[in-house]
Structures are given as structure tokens and as C-alpha cells.
Amino acid sequence: MGRRVDGQWGGKMSMRWVVALGSCALLIAGCTAEEHDSPASRDDLLPSIEDLPTGSEVDVLEGEEQLVLSVALDAINSGESRSDSETYTPTECAEHSRYADEARISLIEDASAVGVVIDRERTYIVLVSETAGDPTRVAEAHTGTCSTYVRQSSSSTHSYEATVRTERMDLPLKVVDEDAAIVSEVTDPVNPNWSNTEVTLGFASVSGYSVLVVAHQGKDSQPEFDDIFTRSIEKVRSKT
């Protein structure tokens, strides 16, 4: 169950959190668990209400919610679990997708996370993991030949096709020297009844921990995303 830290809301994690954390797999790849000489509690490394902008609400993601995450992380672009048949154009982008999928379970198994809502409107996931990764390498993988690709999937009950476009964003000035990367992703389904989805993902390697921030807002909210990403990195840096 979720636990609202300021006592106003809780309960099971919404599907929005599931999809948001599913998107985390886009930026985690080739990772290994990091050993820490004096490990801090991961919960202590997450931003609290005092660390976040005015108007923030924080929901600690734990227990049953983590079990949901472990089976829902395929829902990166379509909101559906992996189907019977998938194709990617260019074809090499299928390997990038598998590359991300293989890392998701190790990320969740040694991670702590909070959901953040600002002004009861804009949503973020902040996750700290003991799984170490390479932000630059992963960002380049998703903004190189696979910066634009088409994903098609089908099963006995549904079919789906969408164009996915990713773009690497500039780092905030306060963390420009960190081992970090930010990627903006826009998914445009062929079906006119389906809406475009915009996701911004920030990934940093800080003192052997991975810091991940996921937003279901687009570039219009980039300054706010940059602020939360910076605060999250600074929290880990200050505690380790």
C-alpha cells in the first residue's frame, strides 16, 4: 500500500505510477548492484516533503505496490503488457527495448521510490536504486539510431502501432558536472482515439546509487522537472 507522508492520501498505486516506473526501464541498462561501505537507508536518500517545491504531495511506494511494478514494467509505451508479436522499425531498436527490459527487475529489487504530485496536477516518480548504471551510454543508445522508431504489436485481443521519438535534453546548471542524462520521449499512436504521451526521464549515477526521476509531463514543465531532478541528486549527494 502507498503511504502519504503528510497524511492526506494513500492506497494502492494508480496505473499512472505503474506506467511511470515502467518508463524507468528506458534508462537503466547494463547495470550491476553496488556495494557500499557504509550504506545509508535508501528511504533516507529519497526527497521528503521538505526537499520538494511548495505544493508538493508525496506518496511512499512500498509493499504491494512494488509487486505490481515487478509485473507491469513492460508497459512503457502502449500501456499494455508485452504482446504475442512485436516488431520495430528500424529492427535494431528491438534490441534496445530488450536491453532495457532485462535491467528492470534488478532495478526494482534494490530500489526505493516515492510518487510526487505538485499542485494536485503534475506527477513525478523519484527512485533511488543500489543498481549502478551508465547514464551517458544509455542516453546515447536511445537518442542515436533509435531516436525515432515505430513499434507495432499484436495479440489475439489487440493491436497497437506508434511512433516513438526521443531527444536528449540539457542538464540543469547545478548538476551539469554530474554523471547524468535527461531524455524526453513522445509516443504518437496511429489510432486517433489514443492520445500522445509525453514522458521526461532523468537518470544520474551518484556515489554508487542510481537516481531516477520520471515525469508524465512534456517540455512545458521542463523547468520544474529540472528542479526536482536537481533536488533529488543533491539529496543523495548530501547523504552519501
Which CATH number does the domain housing residue 139 bear? 3.40.1000
Model-level pTM greater than 0.85? no
Contact 214, 197 (CB under 8 A): no
Mind listing the pLDDT tens digit for each residue in 185-218? 898 999 988 888 888 888 899 998 989 888 888 8
Q: How far apart are CA 2 and CA 17, in angstroms?
A: 11
Q: Is the pLDDT of residue 54 over 80?
A: yes
Mean pLDDT of all residues in the chain?
76
Q: What is the pLDDT of residues 151-161, one digit of tens each?
A: 898 877 888 89
- Domain housing 207: 3-32+40-239
The pLDDT of residue 228 is 95
pLDDT over 90 percentage in the chain: 28
User: CA torsion sign, 141 to 234 to 59 to 112?
Assistant: positive
Residue 197, Cα to own-chain centre: how many angstroms? Answer: 14
Q: What is the domain count for the chain?
A: 1
**Gap between the Cα atoms of 56 and 214, Å rounded:** 15
Exposure string (b/e) for 88-121, b if CB count within 10 Å is 16 or more? Answer: beeeebbebbebbbebbebbbebbbbbbbbbeee
